[in-house]
């Protein structure tokens, strides 16, 4: 209603049919298949994108290598200045880009705008970082010697991104990589190709204005076959891949085969522990948003609630009541809390998971189901469900990318932590508690085994200032804040002899 998606597309420079391969200002027509992008909001075709093929892939990587030779010689703060301007351009385009994210991916408009804000924030972060790419100096054991380390750009960074964060994940990688002096080739999700074109167009304008070499920002749309070309390509020293664990394992195998580097951001199976003394209002709020926000399609979505036996029934009732008040529908309407799943395949996986929960002996506290009728024509809208389960159930051990929340009971904190850690994934975790002892225990070396561990906030979402990522099958990579930038650079140790003799290390004598 009054959404004006046509205006959004025109403002962002998108056409009905778009070339999907670019090295910046140049766009290439290739032999890759046509990708049609349908909105999960209303099932309508938004536009199409021509995917890349082997030939265009090769051309793009060659161009990126040429660009790297120049870009790496620009002073880092000067590269930061360009990224600052990208941030400003994103500020100007926040509204249309946020709307496109919401319409193409299906998250709420508020979350679509929030995703663009995250891009702006990482630009700001990267600008500051461009003056802080520092290394250490060490004392040499030899007289008149100086030893230090410096960080150099690594080259072409390949970025594979998932559908659920169609623009932010790319920016987390690209903005850092650019200030570090790298060049990027982005393979976006084939489920959200139009978002990638919009980003490339915004960046290309700023790059052209600043004389940035063609090839610093590259885009190759396509499906997994393009991702496979990237993983196998020796000219891509670092592949940063975000998506399912299945994809991450395939990419990691191929990249490690050629001894390349991979940075993996894969699936999660995140839990909140609610202790007997927790603030229940805060706990329910955190669990609710964590479980149903983005219709359960965040890597940090709350999938399991591990609740103390003494408050289990109360939490269950409160959640049931809260779920009863959720309104499901068009995510562009701010009155709705839950939007659609990405596509019908995701709906099938949701249905399959519900069946498996039942078969395993789970008990539904809130029943799920697919919504039909007016407003749900895309057939992608599902009801958020809650089931009482055992942590050991096969289905509970898996990440189902949909709003299904599992309730699990515990008696001792030891047991709760064991259950929280008792899955293959290790992304986000949290504890709701007012006990300092429980909190410290949860954050200690024998507490949560996840990359993210929170206290009195939920599992979902993260600030760009911290390093983001997780352990075990989540892949071990860290992106965004803290010192995550180091992954995009190569470390060089330098020793300088400013004396007039050549002493050897470890006191070794070699006289002739
Ligand atoms: P997906 O694995 O199906 O696809 C992700 C990307 O990988 C797409 O661009 C796809 O084309 C590509 N791809 C798929 N198979 C490939 C292969 N064999 N080789 C190379 N590329 C391949 O994931 P999705 O459905 O788009 O996204 C949902 C998943 O992403 C969830 O598991 C979610 O937890 C995860 N995710 C993780 C994070 C994180 O930071 N940890 C962030 C967002 C999403």
Instruction: Of 3-7, 34-38, 368-372, 432-436, give the lowest mean pLDDT range.
Output: 3-7
pLDDT digits (tens, 9 = 90+) for 430-448: 999 999 999 999 999 999 9
Euclidean distance between CA atoms 295 and 342, whole angstroms? 9
Q: Is the pLDDT of residue 461 over 90?
A: no
User: What's the mean pLDDT when you consider all of the chain?
Assistant: 97
Is residue 464 pLDDT above 80, yes or no? yes
For β-strands 217-220 and 34-38, DSSP reports them as unpaired
338 secondary structure, DSSP code: B
β 183-187/156-160 pair status: parallel
Strands across the sheet with 452-455, in order?
A: 363-366, 385-388, 404-410, 302-308, 270-274, 428-432, 452-455
pLDDT class of 56 with cuts at 50, 70, 90 = very high
Nearest-atom number in ligand 1 for the CA of 243 is 30
Task: Report the pLDDT value the prediction gives residue 512, as an integer from 0 to 100.
Answer: 81
pLDDT-above-70 percentage for the chain: 99
Mean per-residue pLDDT, 192-202: 98
- Model pLDDT, residue 388: 98
pLDDT of residue 1: 45
| Predicted local confidence at residue 131, as pLDDT | 98
Write out pLDDT tens, residues 414-423: 999 999 999 9
Please give the distance, rounded to the nearest whole angstrom, from the Cα atom of residue 245 to the centre of ligand 1.
Answer: 8
Report the C-alpha gap between 296 and 403 in whole angstroms: 4
Q: List the residue whose alpha carbon is closest to atom 22 of ligand 1.
A: 224
395-414 tens-digit pLDDT: 999 999 999 999 999 999 99
Distance 418 CA to ligand 1 centre (A): 28
Ligand 1 environment, Cβ below 6 A: 160-165, 169, 187, 189-190, 223-224, 227-228, 231, 242-244, 247, 250-251, 265-268, 299, 399, 401, 427, 474
Indicate whether 115 pLDDT > 50: yes
What integer is the mean pLDDT of 188-214? 98
Cross-strand pairs, 217: 184
Mean local confidence (pLDDT), 94-101: 97
Task: Work out the percent of the chain whose per-residue pLDDT is above 90.
Answer: 97
Is 265 among the residues known to form the active site?
Answer: yes
Cα(232)–Cα(388) distance, integer angstroms: 44
Residue 288 reports pLDDT greater than 90? yes
Q: 262 C-alpha vs ligand 1 centroid, how far in Å?
A: 14
Q: How confident is the model at residue 29 (pLDDT cuts 50, 70, 90)?
A: confident
DSSP-derived secondary structure for 154-223:
-SEEEEE--SSSTTHHHHHHHHHHHHHT-EEEEE--TTSHHHHHHHHHHHHHHHHHTTPPTTSEEEE--S
Taking residues 149-158, what's their average pLDDT? 98
pLDDT, mean of residues 2-17:
90
Split at pLDDT 50, 70, 90, the class of 3 is: low
- Among the atoms of ligand 1, which is closest to the Cα of residue 401? 31
């Amino acid at each position: 209603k009054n959404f004006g998606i046509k205006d959004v597309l025109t403002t962002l420079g998108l056409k009905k049919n778009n070339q999907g391969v670019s090295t910046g200002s140049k766009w290439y027509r290739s032999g890759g298949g046509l990708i049609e992008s349908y909105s999960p909001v209303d099932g309508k075709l938004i536009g199409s994108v021509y995917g890349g093929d082997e030939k265009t892939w090769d051309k793009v990587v060659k161009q990126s290598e040429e660009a790297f030779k120049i870009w790496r010689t620009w002073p880092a703060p000067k590269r930061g200045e360009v990224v600052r301007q990208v941030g400003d351009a994103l500020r100007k385009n926040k509204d249309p880009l946020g709307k496109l994210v919401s319409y193409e991916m299906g998250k709420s408009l508020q979350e679509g705008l929030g995703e663009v804000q995250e891009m702006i924030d990482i630009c700001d972060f990267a600008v500051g970082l461009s003056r802080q790419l520092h290394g250490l100096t060490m004392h040499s054991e030899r007289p008149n010697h100086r030893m230090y380390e410096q960080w150099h750009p690594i080259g072409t960074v390949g970025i594979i991104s998932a559908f659920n964060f169609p623009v932010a994940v790319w920016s987390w990688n690209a903005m850092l990589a650019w200030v570090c002096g790298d060049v990027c080739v982005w393979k976006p999700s084939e489920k959200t190709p139009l978002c990638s074109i919009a980003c490339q167009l915004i960046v290309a304008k700023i790059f052209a204005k600043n004389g940035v070499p063609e090839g610093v920002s590259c885009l190759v749309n396509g499906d997994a076959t393009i991702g496979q070309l990237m993983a196998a390509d020796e000219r891509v020293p670092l592949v940063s891949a975000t998506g399912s664990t299945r994809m991450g394992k395939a990419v990691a195998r191929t990249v490690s085969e050629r001894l390349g580097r991979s940075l993996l951001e894969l699936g999660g199976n995140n839990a909140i522990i609610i202790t007997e003394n927790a603030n229940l209002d805060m706990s329910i709020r955190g669990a609710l948003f964590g479980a149903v926000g983005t219709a359960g399609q965040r890597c940090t979505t709350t999938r399991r609630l591990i609740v103390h036996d003494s408050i289990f029934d109360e939490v269950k009732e409160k959640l049931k009541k809260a779920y009863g008040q959720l309104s499901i529908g068009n995510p562009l309407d701010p009155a709705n809390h839950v939007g659609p799943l990405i596509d019908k395949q995701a709906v099938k996986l949701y249905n399959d998971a519900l069946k498996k929960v039942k078969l395993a002996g789970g008990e539904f506290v809130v029943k799920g189901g697919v919504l039909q009728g007016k407003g749900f024509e895309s057939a992608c809208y599902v009801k958020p469900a809650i089931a009482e389960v055992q942590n050991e159930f096969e289905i509970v051990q898996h990440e189902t990318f949909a709003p299904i929340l599992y309730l699990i009971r515990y008696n001792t904190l030891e047991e709760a932590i064991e259950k929280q850690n008792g899955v293959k994934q290790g992304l986000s975790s949290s504890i709701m508690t007012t006990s300092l002892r429980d909190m410290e225990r949860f954050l200690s070396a024998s507490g949560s085994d996840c990359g993210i561990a929170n206290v009195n906030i939920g599992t979902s979402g993260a600030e760009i200032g911290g390093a983001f990522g997780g352990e075990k099958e989540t892949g071990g990579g860290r992106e965004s804040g803290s010192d995550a930038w180091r992954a995009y650079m190569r470390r060089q140790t330098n020793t300088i002899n400013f004396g007039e003799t050549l002493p050897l290390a470890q006191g070794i004598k070699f006289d002739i």
